Amino acid sequence: MHEEHTEKINKGILLTILILGCFLSTLNQTLLNVALSNLMDVFEVTAATVQWISTGFMLVNGILIPVTAYLMRRFTTRQLFISAMAFLLAGSAICAAAPSFMVLLLGRMIQAAGAGIVMPLMMSVVLAIFPVEKRGSAMGLLGLAMIFAPAIGPTLSGFIVEYHSWRWLFIGLIPLVAIVIGLAFKYLVNVSETAKPKLDVWSVLLSTAGFGLILYGFSSAGSKGWDDAVVILCLGFGIVVTALFCVRQIKSADPLLNLSVFRNKIFTVTSLINVLVTMMMYADMILLPIYLQTGRGFTAFDAGLLLLPGALVNAFMSPVTGKMYDRFGAKPLFLIGLLLIIPAMWAVTDLTETTTYTYLMIRTIALRIGLSFITMPLNTAGLNALPRELGTHGTAVNNTVRQIAGAIGTAVVITIYTVQAKGHAVTLLQNDPAAPAERLRTLTSILGAGDAYYFMMILAAVAFVITFFFMPMKKKARKEGLSAAAGKEHPQA
């Protein structure tokens, strides 16, 4: 029955609408990265406060995603997608008119509620309508939206911030989101059967509190320091509450987030690599613009332009690496990707006032090529290893892990950057008490960024070791095992 159902679906139209929706949701995530310096001036807030525009977005995403496995069983593809786009529309309208930083943050949170639903929904649709051997190529196409959007965001926002008002970042989104909603009403079909599962309210409260406290603790460490009582308490309570959430999920007959997916070795290893790669990816997209603007005095548009060639290469590579995954499996692709990422991180550990724009651009292209070998094959390898009935749970776990890693990565890197910059400021003042404040700010920003990149290079090396020793080489055996399992579970298909 499942196979016949997927035959009737126009996969092209379905994928196009989902990719457009995903593109706009993901674009939103990094649209403000280059505008952060500008917003610090507009609303007179510090770097640690303004990063909540990014961290808050990921926080809501991270909190919402565990609930998506329940939502995808309870509501149809159409209902969920259109609701997600409506949240995006409402949030964009609030941000466009925001009179204060808090209203802007509220609008971002509402946008994030929509974006949190779109990504897992899209991956579940791919799992539902494509057979195992074609999923790599399909995920590669999704990668166009998932990778290209966050990478082109800074260029777009740099141009808008430079020549117009930051409000146009949101005003411009409104008609695009409205068009996607119109297309969804006309063409989007349902690919999943709905049930009426009972919502475990305690699990929702525990996951929200646990993930929320952990992310808040990491994010506050940037301004307050790691020894601050609020930071220690948030992280401590967050870890305890998250542990309670996990215990409840393991014991539950119908869990909100089915953690049994981690019994699968391949899924667990890919999740671990996912955490490390996501931390590096998001951190780089925030750190590079800060170095360029604060440390070097480049404009927002210059900072955005530097990221553009890498974004284009990345988008072009995504469908290619999807096809390569279908052919060669995950391990060779991961190793090639990490062998490009490690030198790309090392190349920016000793940034100076004279590091050339071209050097940074070439390094960023190398980093992006490396990431395109990993990002989508990583998701596909983990989800393909699971039996069909765990598909939506695997997607939800996968995306929860990614959002939380992104938020923690951003927060930790900003913390390292802030703490190291303060340390360098003290040293520089001791050496030259008469140094001008502006010069001091420039130098500390450059040195702080270099130190943060050292940390990211170590993460890349750890990911390489995990891939080399723990990722199985052959995909063929796994595919045969999976089709046998699928045959047993769905003899009627």
In this predicted structure, the answer to whether residue 136 has a pLDDT above a threshold of 90 is no
**Of 78-92, 225-239, 362-376, 477-491, which range is least confident?**
477-491
Show Cβ contacts of residue 282 under 8 Å, excluding neighbours closer than 6 positions. Answer: 54, 58, 406, 407, 409, 410
CA distance 205 to 188: 32
pLDDT band, very low/low/confident/very high, at 88 (cuts 50, 70, 90): very high
Q: Give the position of tokens 């995950």.
A: 330
State residue 144's pLDDT score.
72
Q: Which of 121-125, 163-167, 180-184, 209-213 has the highest mean pLDDT?
A: 180-184
pLDDT band, very low/low/confident/very high, at 436 (cuts 50, 70, 90): confident
pLDDT digits (tens, 9 = 90+) for 278-288: 888 878 877 88
pLDDT band, very low/low/confident/very high, at 437 (cuts 50, 70, 90): confident
Please state the CATH superfamily assignment of the domain spanning residues 2-190+256-472 in this structure. MFS general substrate transporter like domains (1.20.1250.20)
Residues 446-457 have a mean pLDDT of 86
pLDDT band, very low/low/confident/very high, at 56 (cuts 50, 70, 90): confident
State residue 94's pLDDT score.
94
CA distance 375 to 424: 35
- Mark out the alpha helices in 193-228 (DSSP H runs): 201-224
Query: Percent of the chain scored above 90 by pLDDT?
Result: 15
Nearest Cα neighbor of 424 from 404, 391, 452 is: 452
In this predicted structure, the answer to whether residue 373 has a pLDDT above a threshold of 50 is yes
Residues 241-264 have a mean pLDDT of 87
pLDDT band, very low/low/confident/very high, at 69 (cuts 50, 70, 90): confident
pLDDT band, very low/low/confident/very high, at 1 (cuts 50, 70, 90): very low
The per-residue pLDDT of the chain, averaged, comes to 81
Cα-based distances in Å from 327 to 136, 321, 323, 340, 368? 9, 10, 6, 21, 22
State residue 474's pLDDT score.
54
Phi-psi region of 422 (alpha: psi -120 to 50; beta: other; left: phi over 0): alpha
pLDDT band, very low/low/confident/very high, at 122 (cuts 50, 70, 90): confident
Q: Give the position of tokens 């980093």.
A: 367
Phi, psi of 263, deg, nearest 5:
-70, -20
pLDDT band, very low/low/confident/very high, at 89 (cuts 50, 70, 90): very high
Show Cβ contacts of residue 259 under 8 Å, excluding neighbours closer than 6 positions. Answer: 246, 249, 250, 397
pLDDT band, very low/low/confident/very high, at 479 (cuts 50, 70, 90): low
Show Cβ contacts of residue 216 under 8 Å, excluding neighbours closer than 6 positions. Answer: 59, 234, 238
- Domain boundaries of the chain, sorted by first residue: 2-190+256-472, 200-255
State residue 92's pLDDT score.
92
The token pair at 208 is 């929200």
Q: What is the DSSP letter of 35?
A: T
State residue 223's pLDDT score.
66
Q: What's the first-to-final CA gap in the chain, in angstroms?
A: 5
Nearest Cα neighbor of 450 from 293, 226, 339, 288 is: 288
CA distance 320 to 137: 8
Phi-psi region of 289 (alpha: psi -120 to 50; beta: other; left: phi over 0): alpha
pLDDT band, very low/low/confident/very high, at 490 (cuts 50, 70, 90): very low
Using a 10 angstrom Cβ sphere, with 0-12 exposed, 13-18 middle and 19 or more buried, the burial of residue 46 is: exposed
pLDDT digits (tens, 9 = 90+) for 181-219: 999 888 887 776 677 777 788 888 898 888 888 877 877
Residues 397-416 have a mean pLDDT of 79
Contact of 261 with 267, CB cutoff 8 Å: yes
- Mark out the alpha helices in 75-172 (DSSP H runs): 77-96, 101-129, 135-163, 168-171
- SS3 label, residue 344: helix
Using a 10 angstrom Cβ sphere, with 0-12 exposed, 13-18 middle and 19 or more buried, the burial of residue 257 is: buried
In this predicted structure, the answer to whether residue 323 has a pLDDT above a threshold of 90 is no
